[in-house]
Amino acid sequence: MTQSSTPPASSNVVWHNATVTRARREAQNQHKGAIVWFTGLSGAGKSTLAHAVEEALHQQGCRTFVLDGDNVRHGLCGDLSFSSADRIENIRRVGEVAKLFMEAGVIVLTAFISPFRADRERVRGMVGHGEFVEVYCNSPIEVCETRDVKGLYKKARAGVISDFTGISSPYEAPDNPELTVNTGAATLDNCVADTLEAMRKRGILQRSL
């Protein structure tokens, strides 16, 4: 495990190095630990794609875990609202947790709207080059709103929900993601295949996986 760039609040905290290193875990797993970060509007397909990619990887014997926005907000981030400040803190915590999983040799798939470019870039900056694979789930808001998987767009339009991404809160699309998938029109299978290929290309997965 590598030391965080964030210094601890207490000066009496001493780092302890593990003997079971990340390299040993990865050798055992036969794949790299990594963070595959899905970003996009609500209803764009982040959760669906993250879980479908996880299913494919799991069937190949990979160690995986999905960190999902709504689930995290039940526990770790249950104290946070959707204000800009709390969204930033939400992504900071998720980034730290994802990094721990990655260092345990796991392929972490995160499904968070993560609307602010700076927050995503901060997580990217917390890990090594090539360990953060940003996947932009690009679906037009009209498609997301028609799907309205959780009925949230209807509530946001009615003013029942405030700070709703795409309607009353901004979404900043990635400038230079590792991959853009057209989750508004392409099939799920195609998006899964593109994500796996992006991971192979970066050496996270062996060619055969």
Q: Per CB under 6 A, which region of 28-36, 42-50, 76-84, 199-207 contacts ligand ADP?
A: 42-50
Q: Which of 4, 5, 42, 114 is catalytic?
A: 114
Binding mask 108-147 for ligand ADP (x = CB under 6 A): ---x-------------------------x---------x
Tell me the residue nearest to ligand ADP as measured from the CB: 45
Task: Say how far apart CA 12 and CA 198 lie, in whole Å.
Answer: 42
Does the footprint of ligand ADP cover residue 191 (CB under 6 A)?
yes
Decide: is 166 part of the binding site for ligand ADP (CB under 6 A): no
Stretch that binds ligand ADP, among 9-17, 28-36, 39-47, 74-82 (CB under 6 A): 39-47
Binders of ligand ADP: how many residues, by CB under 6 A?
18
Our answer to whether residue 11 is catalytic in this structure is no
Asked if 44 touches ligand ADP (CB under 6 A), the answer is yes
Does 18 sit near ligand ADP (CB under 6 A)?
no
Report the DSSP beta bridge partners of residue 165: 169
Active site positions, annotated: 114
Which positions lie near ligand ADP, rule CB under 6 A? 40, 42-49, 111, 137, 147, 149, 183, 186-188, 191
